[in-house]
Structure 1
Amino acid sequence: MFKKKCLIIEDSEIAIVTLSMQLEKLSMYDISVARNYNQAKSCLSNDTYDLIFLDIKLHESSGLDLVSEFPKLPPVIVTSSNVEFAIDTYEINSVMDFIKKPVTEDRLIKAIDKALNRQKTSNSIVENNFVFIKTGRHVMKFDFEKLDYINAYGIYSKIYSDNKSTIVNESIATLEEALPNQIFRRVHKSYIINIKKVTGYDHKNIFINEVVIPIGFSYKKNVSEFIQFI
């Protein structure tokens, strides 16, 4: 799986370890670290990155000076324990977000969403072939090719994948907006299906192996748009 390249520019070892561990949970990035201004300059001069986490205070230097020195940076997420520095980042085009330390998992996901201009929900990150969704207090990865269907579960949803169900912290309406339409379609107020997993259908139901999923009256047109390609 192709991973994006992420550079952490940070002089606090605790902050480096914390942020690195949170990013490693997402399994989306090859992580590099620069611990001071000169190391950061070297990294930015000799390599390219998809995302940068930038501490404002780098010993006696300002991380924001790097932004001025390298005007064509990828999306930057600024981190600092001092929220007063946030105002200094508002007019910098490459800075997508500001996070107050310590960085929490929820806030990290939202900042990545914003920085990389992904389809956003409050508890998920959508990529080309998979999605990370918050389940309880944890974040789980769901591969599109293994995800069979989604069932509404009050303000939450149940995702059926690999012959098991997982309750996630997203409503079915939110997941409908976030997931790619060419793979996932809403066929009922309570169901989203993976089109590629459909094994049969009639005028009332869609079948995914032995599972029978009803077609809602208001979703018949939605179903007819993709059924001819099954």
Structure 2
Amino acid sequence: MEITILKSVIIDDCTTHRTVLKRLIENHPDLVLEGSYRNGIEAKNNGCEKNADLIFLDVEMPFIDGFDLLESFKKRPQVIMVSGKPDHALRAFEYDVTDYLLKPVSPKRFDMAIKKVQRNTGTMTGQSEDEHIFVRSNFRKVRVDYGDIKWVEALGDYVKLITEKKNILVLTSMKAFEQKLPENRFLRIHKSYIINLDRIENFTSTEVQVCGKQMPLSRKRKSRLLDALGAG
């Protein structure tokens, strides 16, 4: 597969944080820095969104904050919001951003966010063996790509996989199936539900919406969700 280089833009009023993101972008083989701006006005005046594939957008900035700037984009590339506070995470996902990173941004968390961007744009540099799982259903083994799974729900002695193409019943427990899924992509939010983190549309303190379906969020699992989204 041909490697696609994603043109990236930084919008952040903090020189230190811009420097950190600049270094992370320059060290990533699939990213190139297209521009770096100190505030929303400077970014808008330079048409920051027109040639960008990805924008790293600070939430709290002078003159115009990240959410107002996001609303002003006529053409919206993928956006990763960045903040020193977890408070804005709920609102950020209402804007359908790709990810929400807490400052200081670690290289590991940064790479996870870029993988989400690449899955969304179809620019992954190649699927490894770890990109799918084989499950036994109706006496045959079925290959299921992780990216196709929307969520998994408990159904008596079975679990039901809700995927892009079909629903699949597997004779196993939620606990056993949870252990087979990569922790950085899936999370059990309730005794009856495991979700694909990339499929989250929005969430509250008690519910998570995935692909149009509202699911309960256990109180004890809320902190795990915030941590997984970089908002903990």
| Superposition CA RMSD, Å | 2.7
Give the deviation of 1:176 after TM superposition: 1.0
**1:188 — aligned with what?**
none
Which structure's CA Rg is the greater one? 1
What's the TM-score, normalizing by structure 1? 0.50
**1:6 — aligned with what?**
8
CA contact (8 A) 1:4 1:28 kept: yes
SS of aligned partner of 2:46: helix
**1:92 — aligned with what?**
95
**2:84 — aligned with what?**
81
Cα distance in 1 for residues equivalent to 2:50 and 2:75:
13
CA contact (8 A) 2:118 2:124 kept: no
**1:176 — aligned with what?**
129
Partner amino acid, structure 2, of 1:38: I
SS of aligned partner of 2:52: coil
Cα distance in 2 for residues equivalent to 1:86 and 1:100:
9
Among all aligned residue pairs of Structure 1 and Structure 2, give the percentage whose two residues are the same amino acid: 29
1:111 corresponds to which of 107, 110, 113? 113
Cα distance in 1 for residues equivalent to 2:93 and 2:4:
32
Give the deviation of 1:45 after TM superposition: 5.9
Cα distance in 2 for residues equivalent to 1:111 and 1:7:
15
Which one scores higher on RCO, CA 8 angstroms, separation ≥ 6? 2
**Structure 2: 5+ residue stretches without partners:** 133-232
Give the deviation of 1:3 after TM superposition: 2.9
**Structure 1: 5+ residue stretches without partners:** 132-174, 180-230
Seen in structure 2, the aligned counterparts of structure 1 residues 49 and 83 have a Cα distance that, compared at 3 Å, is same
CA contact (8 A) 1:56 1:79 kept: yes
2:43 is aligned with 1:40: yes
Give the deviation of 1:100 after TM superposition: 0.6
What's the TM-score, normalizing by structure 2? 0.50
Give the deviation of 1:42 after TM superposition: 2.1
Partner amino acid, structure 1, of 2:20: T
Seen in structure 2, the aligned counterparts of structure 1 residues 110 and 2 have a Cα distance that, compared at 3 Å, is closer
Aligned residues: 129
